[in-house]
Structure 1
Amino acid sequence: MNINIKMMPISIGGVILGLTAMGNLFYDYFMYSREICDLISTFLFILVLIKLVKYPNTFKEDLNNPILASIIATLSMTLMLYSNYLYFYIGSYSMLLWVIAIMLHIFFVINYIVKFFYKLDTSDFTAGSFVVFAGIQMIAITAPTFNQEFIGTICFWISFILVLLVFLIVTYRYIKIPVNNQTKPIIGVYAAPFSLCSVGYLSSVAPNNLIMVMGFYIMTKILYIIVLEKFIEYRHFPFYPTYAAYTFPIVINTITTLQTIEFLKNNGINLWFMQYELMIEMIIAILLVTYILIQFLMNIFELRKKID
């Protein structure tokens, strides 16, 4: 059994982020879920760092690819989540990692804007384009741990405006320009942008508006159903690295449901059926993340033939 680090796709960052977020999602339901998910995600993150050190040119190539230049931002998003978890062990010292992660994410945003967004070449845009802009919401989501809700609020509005703009461009692209089979699974990212906006809004912005919260919720559920239908439609495809789009976006969508339930309860509204919805979405998240993780591990450790 060999470890094929050089051929490990940067899209594995989505799996790492999905695992990290899933550990947090299930923390109140399953003992040690956070520790188990963090252990696996940290192992994969270390492999990414090894690749960065051994093959730095591959990352330069990724930054020049219109799809990967946005998806790579999942790494900085993961570091922001790590900083939140580390806070419970090392306190305010973890804020240094948070700041570094934010700076790294800003670099990814600038790189993407300069190389691709500025040109507005519609063919460069896919659902993956959401990652770098919607990923700014991770600042809003993690800011309360460090009592930085003001910064979080600013980042929420910046990201929200950018997400609306990119949503129009990306949707136009999908309507007008077809994508190849290998790229099609990346449509799963559609489940993430408004879910991130919802969680960012509920995390850092106060007071929260009921109409806005429910607007985010309805939008996320519409997109969630669409991307799951697409997953079923693409089930006959070989496994592509772009299937990583069905990890974190599915998990953050479930977190949106959980936080919406909590918001409604705090405002005296109890929609009992949402609890069943949450359970179903949790099961789907576990199944999809586990399946895609296994597929990536089989590829990394060369347990099957190289992906076509």
Structure 2
Amino acid sequence: MPSLPFLQPCRCIMASSYFRPTSLPTPLAGLALGIGSLGWCLENTGLFTGMAATTGAILSGILLALLLVKFLRAPNLLKDELKHPVIGSILPTYSMALMLVSAAISGRVGTGLWLLAVSLHIILLLIFFWERGKSFRLPQLVPSWYIPPVGIIVADLTSPGGSWAGLAMALFWFGLISYAIMLPVMIYRLIFEPEVPDAAKPTIAILAAPASLSLAGYLAISPAPSGLLVLMLLGIAILMTAITYLGFIRLLRLPFSPGYASFTFPMVIGATALFKSVPFLAQWGASDGTVATLLWLARLELIGATLVVGYVCWCYARFFLAKQAKPANNH
């Protein structure tokens, strides 16, 4: 697998004591996605009356704007990243985060931004398929490959509805079918192929995201959800999230790298999926104890997700400050 300089620990990304957007690591888009989704998830507590979602969208938007400056100033770097088997799969987190930002904007502007984000995601998806199809090797497969085809389901969580409901439903089924096809292949690769390189190991946390995202997206757009599909996705989502939390015992021992951003969104979407499942289970006649247990688990996962996002933000802050201070200390 090609080297992953943006994921390597302790690699200086600040070439001078002043801030340069072109030195920002692309996984920062994943952190923007995690922050934006956490803002929306916190609204399920009923404590923030829209402020958490707005704050998350603003912070996410700032990070996306900085990355946009990077890509505009260094188009050749973007071209190289699109060809990379890992970075190319992470780039669509940019469009996913942009979808979340669009949900905080009302009216035609919000709808237009949503369509722009969806279009961008489809373009990145097609480029990813094209590049990987030219030289596919199974050992290159890492969990971040779920992002281009399955990540588009974020469009369902942020859909403006109305005349766009049909598009949102089509995107959901595309993402779900992609997940169903990729899951056995991913399991085979992780078990029987060489171990994922340390630099890409943070992407293992992404295994928790597809089932939870599929469930949350399905419940967001389906007027009459299938109980069988909901329960199947719910079971897989809880299982994969639990496995990922256990995996943190090893993943958090890795030296910090920008790839830590992979830890954020999967944990947040896990909590979001559970919160969305609670009213549906109650509507379908589940016992009060079952509903209460699921709500308790959703709140527990939200606490965990908040801690994970906060920790990754803290690590990023230390990382950037240390890299900015290093040149100054050399004088």
Name the SS of the counterpart of 1:70 in structure 2.
helix
Structure 1 CA distance, aligned partners of 2:152 and 2:58? 25
Q: Is 1:183 aligned with 2:200? A: yes
- Report the CA distance between 1:81 and its aligned residue: 1.6
Structure 2 CA distance, aligned partners of 1:116 and 1:128? 13
Residues 121-158 of structure 1, C-alpha deviation per residue, up to 9 Å, x if partnerless?
21221000000111121222222544522211111111
Aligned to 2:146: 130
* Residue correspondence of structure 1 range 106-255 to structure 2 within 5 A: 106-117=122-133, 119-175=135-191, 176-255=193-272
Q: Is the 8 A contact 1:5 1:47 kept in 2?
A: yes
Name the SS of the counterpart of 1:34 in structure 2.
helix
Question: What is the number of residues matched between the two proteins?
Answer: 303
Letter in 1 for 2:299: M
Aligned to 1:105: 121
- Report the CA distance between 1:119 and its aligned residue: 4.6
Structure 1 CA distance, aligned partners of 2:269 and 2:194? 28
- Report the CA distance between 1:305 and its aligned residue: 6.0
TM-score by length of 1: 0.92
Structure 2 CA distance, aligned partners of 1:268 and 1:149? 28
Structure 1 CA distance, aligned partners of 2:91 and 2:320? 18
1:35 to 43, 47, 54: 54
Q: Is the 8 A contact 1:138 1:200 kept in 2?
A: yes
Letter in 2 for 1:56: P
Structure 1 residues 158 and 28, CA, compared in 2 at 3 Å: closer, same or farther? Answer: closer
Higher deviation after alignment, 139-148 or 215-224: 139-148
Aligned to 1:264: 281
- Report the CA distance between 1:234 and its aligned residue: 2.5
Structure 1 CA distance, aligned partners of 2:100 and 2:87? 21
Structure 1 residues 47 and 215, CA, compared in 2 at 3 Å: closer, same or farther? Answer: same
Higher deviation after alignment, 281-290 or 3-12: 3-12
Q: Is 1:3 aligned with 2:19? A: yes
- Report the CA distance between 1:280 and its aligned residue: 1.1
Letter in 2 for 1:244: A
Structure 1 residues 75 and 106, CA, compared in 2 at 3 Å: closer, same or farther? Answer: same
Name the SS of the counterpart of 2:104 in structure 1.
helix
Structure 2 CA distance, aligned partners of 1:71 and 1:234? 18
Q: Is 1:291 aligned with 2:311? A: yes
Aligned to 1:48: 67
Q: Is the 8 A contact 2:209 2:265 kept in 1?
A: yes
TM-score by length of 2: 0.86
Give identity over the alignment, percent.
25
Structure 1 CA distance, aligned partners of 2:175 and 2:197? 28
Q: Is the 8 A contact 2:156 2:171 kept in 1?
A: yes
Letter in 2 for 1:252: I
1:277 to 272, 278, 297: 297
Q: Is the 8 A contact 1:64 1:115 kept in 2?
A: yes
Structure 2 CA distance, aligned partners of 1:288 and 1:113? 31
Structure 2 CA distance, aligned partners of 1:84 and 1:139? 10
Structure 2 CA distance, aligned partners of 1:72 and 1:23? 21
Letter in 1 for 2:165: E
Q: Is the 8 A contact 2:96 2:151 kept in 1?
A: yes
Residues 156-182 of structure 1, C-alpha deviation per residue, up to 9 Å, x if partnerless?
111111111222222222112211212
Structure 2: 5+ residue stretches without partners: 1-16
Structure 2 CA distance, aligned partners of 1:221 and 1:275? 13
Q: CA RMSD in A?
A: 1.9
Q: Is the 8 A contact 2:23 2:70 kept in 1?
A: no
Structure 2 CA distance, aligned partners of 1:42 and 1:203? 23
Structure 1 CA distance, aligned partners of 2:161 and 2:325? 42
Higher deviation after alignment, 233-242 or 61-70: 233-242
Q: Is the 8 A contact 1:122 1:170 kept in 2?
A: no
Q: Which has the larger radius of gyration?
A: 2
